[in-house]
Amino acid sequence: MDRLILKGMEFYGYHGVLPQEQHLGQRFIVDVELSLDLATAGRTDDPEQTVNYARVFRVVEEVVTGAPCRLIEAVAEKVAGAILEHFPVSEVLVRVKKPGAPVPGHFAYMGVEIRRRR
């Protein structure tokens, strides 16, 4: 299966278990990989035969900047559901990264990855 990849989308949201995360908010980085057949789009060079990246970005943005969740697992689940609802894809992989997680120590990010199919 072919894939469309949107990597490193950054948004500000209010997700987290701790009160300060829900009050102050923080940066989230989201990657999505959409599985679909891109052969017709490749052969015809017709934008109607693929998924509009800008629309995918907006859908992800609406979820991440929208209603707060306690868990990034819930954020990832909402992103996956919205993509499956709005786009003709057979599978979606979603990564939600939390670079500012309130955990002592040095790390690039903490995150989750989920894969959902139709």
Q: Of residues 7, 78, 97, 98, which has the active-site annotation?
A: 98
Q: Hey, what amino acid is at 32?
A: V
- Give the SS3 label for residue 37: coil
- Are 55 and 75 in contact by the 8 Å Cβ rule? The answer is no
Cα dist. 23→3, 11, 57, 77 in Å?
Answer: 36, 16, 25, 22
**Residue 98 is among the residues annotated as catalytic for this protein:** yes
Residues with a catalytic annotation lie at: 98
